[in-house]
C-alpha cells in the first residue's frame, strides 16, 4: 500500500500503538540488557575476536564517554526495555568497529598516508535540506560519499560468513535494521530515510570514538550534551578523518562529499581538520526545523520511552538549535570566504540543480554532461514527498506559538534572508 500524500500524526501526546509495536515492546521486556561498560566491551571482543581498542588515556578516554552514555540511559526510569536494548546494541557495534578499525590500521599503517583533499562539506541545521543536498551531489560518481551501511560498519568483520547471494553482510544488516525500523516506527520513512544506500552523516564515524551530538537524537541526554560541549572535539575530528582514510583506501576517489549539522557548532575543529574544504551552509526558518525535528523525536519516543513528553523535546531542541546557530554565527569568520556557499532552503527546493551548479563553481569542480545527467537522474527518482509528507502543527501538538519560538532567533534571522515558513 502506498503512503498517503499528506500524513497527520494525531496521537503524539497519547500514542495509539500498533500490534507490531506492542509485540516489540513486550519482546524487549523478556530480553533485558546490562547497560555497563564491561558488558558492551566484552560483547565487542566476542563479536570480533579482537581485544585492542586503541588509545585510551587521560586525553582520549573513550571508556569514560561510553560509560556516560550508558549510565544516563540506565538511570532513566522512563526508558523502555527495547529503548535500552537499542542503545546497548548500538554501543556494541561502535565498540566492535573500533576494534576492527584499530586492527586494520595496525596491519596496514600505509592507510595513514591517504590524503583527504578538497572535500565539499555541507553544514546547516538538521531538517534544512542537508540530506537532500548531499544525496544530490553524491549522485555525481566522481565524488566519494558514504552510504549508511558503510558508515555503520566501516571495516568488514572477518568472522562474517560469506553469503551465497554475494551481498555484503554489512549491507544486509543495515537493511534488516531499516526494515525493522519501518515496522516499529512506520512513519520514519516520511521523515528521515535510513535505507542502506542512502548517503549519511559522517558523524557515524565518530561514534566508534564515543562522541558527537548523535546521542542527543537517540536518548534524552542533557548530561552528555554538557560533557560534549565542554570538551574540545578536535581530536575526535582527527579520528573521523582517519576513518575516512580507511574508507578511501577501500574505495578511492579524488574528492569527498560530506555533510553533518553538528559541524555548525564545531567549525573550529572542522576547519583545523579539513583546511582546504569547500563549505556549504544551508539555512532555513528555525521554527520549521524545530517543529519537524521534535515531531519526529516525539513520534519515535513511543517505542523508547514510557511517556512521549512532547514538552521535553520542544524545550530541549529549541535550546539546542539556538546553541547550534549561536555558535555558527560566532565562528562564521573561521570559514574561508572564497570557499563558502550559503544555500537558502527555499532556493534549494525551487532550483536544486542550479544550487549544485553554484556549489561546483565555488568548489572548482566542473559540471560535466555526465555529472549533470547523474544528478538529474537522482532528482527524477527522488521527488519530494515520495514517501508522503508529514503535516506539522506546532500549536496543537506542542501548545507553542511559532512567533514565540522564533523570537529567540533574531540574532540569526537578521543575518540571512530566510523565509518564514511557520506562521
Helix pair angle (62-74, 222-229), 10° resolution: 160
H helix intervals, 80-168: 81-107, 130-138, 148-152
Residue 16's domain comprises 6-413
CA–CA dist 209, 98 (Å, integer): 7
326 found inside a domain: yes
- Please report which confidence band the pLDDT of residue 57 belongs to, taking 50, 70 and 90 as the band edges: low
423 found inside a domain: no
418 found inside a domain: no
Helix H or strand E segment including 63: helix 62-74
The per-residue pLDDT for range 266-311, each reduced to its tens digit, is 999 999 999 999 999 999 999 999 999 999 999 999 999 999 999 9
Averaged pLDDT, 57-74: 89
**Positive/negative CA dihedral, 291, 297, 302, 306:** negative
251 found inside a domain: yes
Q: How many domains does the chain have?
A: 1
CA–CA dist 407, 305 (Å, integer): 31
- Give the CATH number for residue 367: 3.40.50.300
DSSP-assigned states of every residue in 296-312? HHHHHHHHHBSS--HHH
419 found inside a domain: no
The per-residue pLDDT for range 370-382, each reduced to its tens digit, is 999 999 999 999 8
CA–CA dist 352, 359 (Å, integer): 11
| Cβ atoms of 41 and 53 closer than 8 Å | yes
pLDDT reported for residue 58? 58
Averaged pLDDT, 222-247: 97
421 found inside a domain: no
422 found inside a domain: no
How would you classify residue 212: left for phi > 0, otherwise alpha for psi between -120 and 50, otherwise beta? left
CA–CA dist 259, 282 (Å, integer): 11
The per-residue pLDDT for range 110-121, each reduced to its tens digit, is 999 999 999 999
pLDDT reported for residue 1? 43
Which is nearest to 342 in space by CA: 264, 231, 234?
264
Q: What does pTM read for this prediction?
A: 0.95
405 found inside a domain: yes
The per-residue pLDDT for range 152-173, each reduced to its tens digit, is 999 999 999 888 898 999 999 9
Amino acid at each position: 500500500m502506498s503512503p498517503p500524500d499528506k500524513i497527520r500524526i494525531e496521537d503524539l501526546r497519547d500514542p495509539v500503538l500498533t500490534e507490531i509495536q506492542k509485540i516489540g515492546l513486550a519482546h524487549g521486556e523478556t530480553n533485558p540488557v546490562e547497560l555497563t561498560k564491561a558488558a558492551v566491551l566484552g560483547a565487542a571482543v566476542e563479536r570480533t575476536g579482537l581485544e585492542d581498542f586503541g588509545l585510551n588515556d587521560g586525553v582520549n578516554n573513550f571508556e569514560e564517554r561510553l560509560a556516560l552514555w550508558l549510565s544516563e540511559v540506565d538511570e532513566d526510569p522512563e526508558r523502555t526495555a527495547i529503548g535500552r536494548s537499542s542503545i546497548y546494541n548500538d554501543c556494541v557495534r561502535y565498540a566492535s568497529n573500533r576494534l576492527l578499525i584499530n586492527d586494520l590500521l595496525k596491519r596496514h599503517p600505509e592507510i595513514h598516508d591517504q590524503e583527504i583533499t578538497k572535500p565539499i562539506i555541507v553544514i546547516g541545521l538538521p531538517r534544512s535540506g542537508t540530506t537532500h543536498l548531499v544525496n544530490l551531489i553524491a549522485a555525481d560518481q566522481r565524488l566519494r560519499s558514504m552510504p549508511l551501511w558503510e558508515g555503520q560498519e566501516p571495516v568488514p568483520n572477518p568472522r562474517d560468513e560469506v553469503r551465497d547471494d554475494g551481498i555484503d553482510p554489512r549491507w544486509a544488516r543495515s537493511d534488516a535494521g531499516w526494515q525493522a525500523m519501518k515496522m516499529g516506527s512506520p512513519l520514519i520513512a516520511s521523515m528521515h530515510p535510513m535505507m542502506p544506500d542512502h548517503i549519511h552523516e559522517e558523524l557515524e564515524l565518530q561514534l566508534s570514538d564515543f562522541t558527537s551530538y548523535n546521542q542527543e537524537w537517540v536518548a534524552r541526554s542533557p548530561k552528555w550534551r554538557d560533557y560534549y560541549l565542554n570538551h574540545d572535539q578536535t581530536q575526535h575530528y582527527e579520528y573521523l578523518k582517519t576513518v575516512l582514510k580507511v574508507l578511501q583506501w577501500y574505495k578511492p576517489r579524488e574528492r569527498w562529499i560530506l555533510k553533518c549539522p553538528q559541524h555548525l557548532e564545531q567549525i573550529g575543529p572542522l576547519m583545523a581538520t579539513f583546511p582546504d574544504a569547500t563549505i556549504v551552509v544551508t539555512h532555513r526558518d528555525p521554527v520549521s526545523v524545530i517543529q519537524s525535528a521534535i515531531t519526529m523525536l516525539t513520534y519515535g519516543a513511543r517505542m523508547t520511552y514510557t511517556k512521549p513528553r512532547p514538552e521535553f523535546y520542544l524545550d530541549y531542541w529549541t535550546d539546542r538549535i539556538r546553541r547550534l546557530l549561536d555558535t555558527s554565527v560566532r565562528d562564521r569568520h573561521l570559514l574561508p570566504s572564497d570557499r563558502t556557499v550559503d544555500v537558502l532552503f527555499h532556493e534549494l527546493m525551487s532550483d536544486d540543480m542550479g544550487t549544485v551548479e553554484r556549489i561546483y563553481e565555488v568548489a572548482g569542480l566542473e559540471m560535466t554532461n555526465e555529472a549533470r545527467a547523474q544528478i538529474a537522474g537522482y532528482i527524477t527518482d527522488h521527488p519530494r514527498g515520495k514517501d508522503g509528507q508529514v503535516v506539522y502543527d506546532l500549536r496543537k501538538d506542542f501548545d507553542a506559538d511559532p512567533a514565540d519560538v522564533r523570537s529567540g532567533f533574531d540574532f540569526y534571522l537578521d543575518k540571512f534572508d530566510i523565509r518564514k515558513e511557520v506562521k
